[in-house]
Amino acid sequence: MIVGLDFDNTIVSYDALFQQMAIEEKLVPNSIPPTKTAIRDYLRHIGKENFWTELQSRAYGPFLKRAIPFPGVFEFLSHCRKADISIYVVSHKTQFPYQGTQYNLHESALEWMFQQGFMCQEKYGLSEDRVFFEPTATGKCYRIRSLKCDVFLDDLPEFLLSVEFPSSVHRVLFDPHQRTSSFQGLARVGSWREFLQCMLSEWSNRCVTTA
């Protein structure tokens, strides 16, 4: 089996990082919920879209080292390694931000993966040649197809449901905050541990397809 994994908001959790940065820079009150989406919506609501843009570019760039992996991701990778399941990371990520300071986002992401210990092939089956950053969603779909993924995990339903997404791939929505409504044809998991249970049960009723 070949499993593809998204990176941003799937492997790496940004919620605590964005909250820390926004409060440190006095951009939001402490009452704002500690999620990336809440902080983004607040800054847009008060007319500070440019502050959000710069905050995001730094979070994905030099401040990424302060972000943490989602709980359970190492357990999942370890199981896949022992079960001889091939893992690839495929991310829609431009090399530099569209706006704001031009940090190298690819370098920051790879550095974070090395620092966190992901790039240990003996433990987790990952190495630099199994990580792909594609500048467009179309390129990401093409990469998933070329790698012949059987399953792909992503936090964006609109990407999984796009017409370009390979129809032969089992699409799984990573939705730890239960933010999205139901989408036909998508399996949904709320954690990496639940995703692992889906793998163990070969997509039985533990991995419910939304109606």
Assess contact for 126 and 87: CB atoms under 8 A. yes
Kindly report whether the global pTM for this prediction surpasses the value 0.95: no
Q: Give the mean model confidence (pLDDT) for residues 200-209.
A: 54
pLDDT in the model for residue 202? 63
pLDDT in the model for residue 204? 42
CATH 3.40.50.1000 domain position(s) in the chain: 2-13+69-200
Q: Give the mean model confidence (pLDDT) for residues 38-58.
A: 91
Q: Which CATH superfamily is domain 2-13+69-200 in?
A: HAD superfamily/HAD-like (3.40.50.1000)
Q: Give the mean model confidence (pLDDT) for residues 84-109.
A: 92
Q: Tell which residue, 63, 54, 52, 41, has the closest CA to residue 99.
A: 54
